[in-house]
């Protein structure tokens, strides 16, 4: 007690918690950082209000600034009143929303598409949630889903046949993405196993195939499917345009998938193979029961990443004239009634893609954390 | 007996492989037969003779070769390859620089800055590249028309028809200036080697960077003035509706360049980030304890070790960028796919030949890039003694 007067009172330590401490640590740790922070804040202050104003507050949705219902580009505020301060004209999306979602699918049959979307979600549930009740039965449905979806979308079995040239918009994007991934995945497993096979001929064939596909751009494969495939097939066998594209996209995806799965296979210690063989399992039994479950588990994050790449790559089909989401957007812009609204269309299409791919990448991150395996093969 | 044979692993292996080869040969035979039949029916002659026929169309963007519509399809091919290589090369360099900057910013202690970099990465990675190319192109052609084009020092003009700027005119004697520039590079290469060797043996440092920079800059400059300024600039001048003279970079190229480099930079930044994170904290602390300066730690300790992790995925990003440059067809950039695989194919109907040449060229480019990157990769790996 008596010594207290001899010591100066120490100042409390600089706050490291709370909002002030946090910003001191992360925003204003030294003068360079403070300067950068202020600069960034200034830019954001300029950018965010401008963007919000353009996209929401000054934008047209159903009606223009005079309150008229927008039916073509001339009604858009920014076209009708170019001097005024008007934002985006989202009416192009609203008016053509049906096309953006389904293309030219007949509207009285569109419930089939919606039902397929719903069933897709049901089919995805057992893949996404591991602890879902009745997972074993749901998985059977997932495996059968592509066939059900095909019958629902295309027709047959009592349904009216809707030819694929009537399909468009998000429907085509999802068909290419989902079918592409669903077929490419098993194909990729076979290719990966083939490449690692002990049989030199099979390994060589698979390696050549994988390296060839990975060495050329997807667009050349699409051209291949469009221009050259008809030459290779006998007369009368005329493959549907969407199917030809799907073949090209699937082969492309399968090669990338194979490399990702091969990475997983390589990570399995040799003891697992030896143990499986020593209990007398055959090659396929060993792979199906011991090796693949572990290898795929390891490579799930990369598989999802590759799938994101495929989903983005489906936009390439517009180059050979298919009308996917981006194609419908371009079609709307080529139409004289809506010309010149490219910013709105492209921002909308980008947003739709972003929603899908961002949730996929979040899911892959979640899996990565759960599986604690950070193997990432740099998939595009 | 037969039962025994099937249980023999070797026999089964040979059987399977023979079956695969057999089916493949059968399929190939079938495809070749039907193709020959189809081609005959459509009156398409096979062979590469069409390469010497005049193309009959114009190419708007050909910075290296002069192209006229009377030139052959073979020249279309070379223009296409050069344009593909040009945009890929520029894109790779810009993407690497931007990717490294963004990757380091992502690790910045400034929360706001790293968040901005994160948002950039997520937005560019999660939207299709094709959409980004088209969007950039749409933005570029919304720029002011040539008549109202904004200018910078009356030298550069930014318009919806491209970026106009001065064009260097090479007069007599300019060869020597260019030669001296090349000579400067060669000399500095040897100086750098000598300086490194000296530092390795004696520990003495040599100001390599300043010396080499001055050699590369001043040697050609001196030669330039000795030769009496043989290189002049030709400025673009507005005449009527267009610019006369000068050089122009077309919006197709700018859109491709911007989209490719910004898209790929997002992927590169992620590999850079993970590469830097892979260097353990102890390395930083140890070099700090030895008294190295902060930027030396980054340059001498962190980056060389991070590069070992960064280079392999970087290679695949370069390959991706090169392959993605084929999307130029969407905005009319006359690359290999658009010029040769697209227009030439449509004009001549030689689908098989055009596609085969196009694919083979991409394979060759891919293999070349991986070859050189593998050499580089080997040179930076651990040399265990």
pLDDT at A4 over 60: no
Question: What is the structure's pLDDT at B6?
Answer: 67
- DSSP code string of B63-104: SSS---TTSBHHHHHHHHHHHHHHHHHHHHHHHHHHHHHHHH
CA A269 – CA B371 distance, rounded (Å): 30
What is each CA distance from A340 to A54, A87, A336, B329, in whole angstroms?
16, 14, 9, 21
With CB atoms and an 8 Å threshold, state whether A216 touches B312: no
* Interface pTM, i.e. ipTM: 0.84
Q: Which residue of A231, A304, A318 to mutate against B (max B Cβ within 10 Å)?
A: A231
User: Measured between CB atoms, does B111 come within 8 Å of chain A?
Assistant: yes
Phi, psi of B239 (to 5 degrees): -130, 110
Question: What is the structure's pLDDT at A378?
Answer: 39
How far off is chain A from B198, nearest CA to CA, in Å? 38
Question: What is the structure's pLDDT at A379?
Answer: 39
Question: What is the structure's pLDDT at A377?
Answer: 41
In a domain, residue A161? The reply is no
Q: Cα A191 to the chain's mean position, in Å?
A: 23
How far off is chain B from A10, nearest CA to CA, in Å? 29
In a domain, residue A102? The reply is no
User: Measured between CB atoms, does B43 come within 8 Å of chain A?
Assistant: no
Question: What is the structure's pLDDT at A16?
Answer: 66
Tell me: do A271 and A197 sit in the same domain: yes
When CB atoms are compared, the residue of A40, A220, A315 closest to B130 is A315
How far off is chain B from A247, nearest CA to CA, in Å? 17
**Residue boundaries of the structural domains of chain B:** 2-43, 73-128+248-380
Please identify, in words, the CATH class of the domain defined by B73-128+248-380: mainly alpha
Q: Which pair of structure tokens corresponds to residue A158?
A: 């009592």
In a domain, residue A197? The reply is yes
Nearest CA in chain B to A236: B38
- Determine if residue A378 is left, alpha or beta; phi over 0 gives left, psi from -120 to 50 gives alpha, anything else beta: left
- Determine if residue A175 is left, alpha or beta; phi over 0 gives left, psi from -120 to 50 gives alpha, anything else beta: alpha
Tell me: do A247 and A340 sit in the same domain: yes
User: Measured between CB atoms, does B327 come within 8 Å of chain A?
Assistant: yes
pLDDT at A271 over 60: yes
Tell me: do A194 and A246 sit in the same domain: yes
Tens digit of pLDDT for each residue in A152-172?
888 777 777 777 788 888 888
**A278 pLDDT band (50/70/90 cuts)?**
very high
Q: How many domains does chain A have?
A: 3
Question: What is the structure's pLDDT at B92?
Answer: 93
pLDDT at A372 over 70: no
Residue that wins the pLDDT comparison between A11 and A249: A249
Report H helices in A267-341: 270-278, 283-286, 292-313, 325-334
When CB atoms are compared, the residue of A33, A202, A234 closest to B20 is A202
User: Measured between CB atoms, does B54 come within 8 Å of chain A?
Assistant: no
When CB atoms are compared, the residue of B110, B324, B337 closest to A26 is B110
Tell me: do A183 and A84 sit in the same domain: no
Tell me: do A38 and A85 sit in the same domain: no
Question: What is the structure's pLDDT at A134?
Answer: 76
How far off is chain A from B273, nearest CA to CA, in Å? 13
Instruction: Show residues of chain A in contact with B127, CB under 8 Å.
Output: 312, 350, 353-354, 357
CATH of the domain at A244: 1.10.3720.10
Tell me: do A248 and A357 sit in the same domain: yes
- Closest-CA residue to A375 (of A288, A316, A305): A305
Q: Are B255 and B198 in contact (CB under 8 A)?
A: no
Tens digit of pLDDT for each residue in B137-154?
988 888 777 777 777 777
Nearest CA in chain A to B22: A201
- Closest-CA residue to B363 (of B336, B342, B338): B336
* Ranges under pLDDT 50 in chain B: 1, 385
pLDDT at A6 over 70: no
Tell me: do A212 and A317 sit in the same domain: yes
Nearest CA in chain B to A200: B17
Instruction: Show residues of chain B in contact with A315, CB under 8 Å.
Output: 128, 130-131
In a domain, residue A121? The reply is no
Beta-carbon contacts of B378 under 8 Å, excluding residues fewer than 6 positions away, are none
pLDDT at A277 over 80: yes
User: Measured between CB atoms, does B233 come within 8 Å of chain A?
Assistant: no
Instruction: Show residues of chain A in contact with B13, CB under 8 Å.
Output: 198-199
In a domain, residue A112? The reply is no
Tell me: do A89 and A175 sit in the same domain: no
Tell me: do A186 and A324 sit in the same domain: yes
In a domain, residue A176? The reply is yes
- Closest-CA residue to A66 (of A54, A77, A56, A79): A77
Q: Is A194 helix (H, G, I), strand (E, B) or coil?
A: helix
Question: What is the structure's pLDDT at A15?
Answer: 64
Domain containing A18: what range?
A: 12-49
Q: Beta-strand (E) ranges in B54-211?
A: 151-152, 156-159, 162-165, 167-170
Give the bridge partners for B169, in sequence order.
B232
- Closest-CA residue to B187 (of B162, B216, B222): B216
User: Measured between CB atoms, does B320 come within 8 Å of chain A?
Assistant: yes
CA B224 – CA A363 distance, rounded (Å): 60
Among A97-101, A135-139, B52-56, B347-351, the range of highest mean pLDDT: A97-101
How far off is chain B from A318, nearest CA to CA, in Å? 9
Q: Which pair of structure tokens corresponds to residue A95?
A: 């008016």
In a domain, residue A269? The reply is yes
Burial of A30 (0-12, 13-18, 19+ CB in 10 A): exposed
B162-165/B167-170 β-pairing: unpaired
In a domain, residue A378? The reply is no
Q: Is B239 helix (H, G, I), strand (E, B) or coil?
A: strand
With CB atoms and an 8 Å threshold, state whether B313 touches A378: yes
Nearest CA in chain A to B311: A378
Nearest CA in chain B to A352: B127
Segment among A6-20, A269-283, B8-22, B364-378 with least mean pLDDT: A6-20
CA atoms within 13 A on the CB side of A185: 15
- Closest-CA residue to A26 (of B109, B243, B3, B261): B109
- Closest-CA residue to B123 (of B267, B7, B220): B267
């Amino acid at each position: 007690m008596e010594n207290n007067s001899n010591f100066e009172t120490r100042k409390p330590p600089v706050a490291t918690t709370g909002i002030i401490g946090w910003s001191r640590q992360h925003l204003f740790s030294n003068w360079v950082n403070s300067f950068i922070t202020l600069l960034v804040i200034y830019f954001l202050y300029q950018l965010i209000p401008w963007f919000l104003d353009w996209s929401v507050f000054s934008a047209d949705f159903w009606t223009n600034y005079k309150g008229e219902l927008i039916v073509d580009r001339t009604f858009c505020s920014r076209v009708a009143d170019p001097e005024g301060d008007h934002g985006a004209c989202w009416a192009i999306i609203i008016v053509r929303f049906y096309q953006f979602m389904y293309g030219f699918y007949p509207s009285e049959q569109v419930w089939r598409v919606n039902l397929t979307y719903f069933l897709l979600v049901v089919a995805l549930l057992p893949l996404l949630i591991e602890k879902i009740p009745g997972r074993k039965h749901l998985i059977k449905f997932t495996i059968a889903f592509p066939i059900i979806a095909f019958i629902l979308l295309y027709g047959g079995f009592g349904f009216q046949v809707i030819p694929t040239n009537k399909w468009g918009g998000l429907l085509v994007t999802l068909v290419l993405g989902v079918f592409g991934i669903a077929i490419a995945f098993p194909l990729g497993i076979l290719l990966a196993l083939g490449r690692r096979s002990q049989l030199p001929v099979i390994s060589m064939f698979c390696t050549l195939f994988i390296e060839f596909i990975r060495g050329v751009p997807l667009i050349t494969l699409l051209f291949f499917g469009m221009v050259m495939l008809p030459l290779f097939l006998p007369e009368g066998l005329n493959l549907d345009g969407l199917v030809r594209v799907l073949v090209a996209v699937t082969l492309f995806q399968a090669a990338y998938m194979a490399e990702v799965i091969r990475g997983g296979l390589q990570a399995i210690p040799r003891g697992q193979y030896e143990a499986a063989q020593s209990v007398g399992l055959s090659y396929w039994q060993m792979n199906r029961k011991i090796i693949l479950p572990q290898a795929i588990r390891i490579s799930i994050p990369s598989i999802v990443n590759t799938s994101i790449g495929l989903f983005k790559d489906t936009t390439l089909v517009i180059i050979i004239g298919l009308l996917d989401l981006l194609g419908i957007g371009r079609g709307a812009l080529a139409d004289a009634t809506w010309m010149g609204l490219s910013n709105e269309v492209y921002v909308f299409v980008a947003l739709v893609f972003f929603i899908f791919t961002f949730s996929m990448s979040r899911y892959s991150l979640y899996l990565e954390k759960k599986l604690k395996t950070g193997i990432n093969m740099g998939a595009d | 007996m037969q039962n025994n044979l099937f249980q023999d692993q070797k026999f089964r292996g040979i059987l399977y492989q023979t079956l695969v080869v057999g089916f493949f040969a059968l399929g190939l035979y079938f495809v070749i037969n039907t193709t020959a039949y189809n081609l005959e029916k459509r009156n398409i002659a096979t062979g590469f003779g069409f390469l010497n026929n005049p193309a009959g169309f114009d190419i708007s963007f050909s910075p290296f070769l002069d192209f006229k519509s009377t030139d052959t399809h073979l020249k279309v091919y070379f223009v296409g390859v050069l344009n593909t290589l040009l945009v890929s090369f520029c894109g790779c360099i810009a993407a690497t620089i931007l990717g490294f900057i963004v990757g380091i910013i992502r690790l910045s202690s400034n929360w706001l800055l790293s968040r901005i970099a994160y948002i950039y990465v997520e937005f560019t990675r999660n939207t299709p590249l094709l959409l980004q190319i088209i969007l950039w192109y749409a933005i570029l052609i919304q720029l002011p028309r040539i008549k109202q084009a904004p200018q910078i020092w009356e030298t550069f003009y930014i318009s919806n028809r491209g970026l106009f700027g001065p064009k260097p005119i090479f007069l007599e004697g300019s060869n020597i200036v260019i030669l001296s520039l090349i000579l400067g590079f060669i000399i500095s290469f040897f100086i750098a080697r000598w300086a490194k060797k000296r530092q390795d043996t004696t520990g003495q440092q040599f100001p390599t960077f300043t010396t080499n920079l001055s050699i590369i800059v001043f040697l050609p400059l001196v030669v330039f003035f000795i030769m009496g300024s043989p290189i002049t600039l030709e400025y673009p001048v507005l005449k009527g509706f267009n610019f006369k003279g000068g050089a122009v970079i077309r919006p197709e190229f700018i859109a491709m360049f911007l989209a490719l480099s910004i898209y790929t930079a997002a992927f590169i930044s992620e590999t850079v980030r993970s590469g830097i994170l892979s260097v353990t904290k102890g390395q930083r602390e140890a070099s700090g304890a030895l008294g190295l300066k902060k930027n030396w730690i980054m340059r001498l300790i962190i980056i060389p070790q991070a590069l070992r992790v960064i280079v392999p995925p970087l290679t695949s990003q370069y390959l991706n960028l090169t392959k993605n440059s084929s999307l130029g067809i969407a905005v009319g950039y006359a690359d290999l796919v658009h010029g040769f695989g697209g227009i030439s194919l449509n004009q001549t109907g030689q689908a098989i030949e055009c596609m085969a040449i196009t694919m083979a060229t991409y394979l060759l480019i891919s293999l070349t890039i991986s070859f050189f990157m593998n050499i580089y990769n080997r040179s930076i790996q651990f040399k265990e003694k």
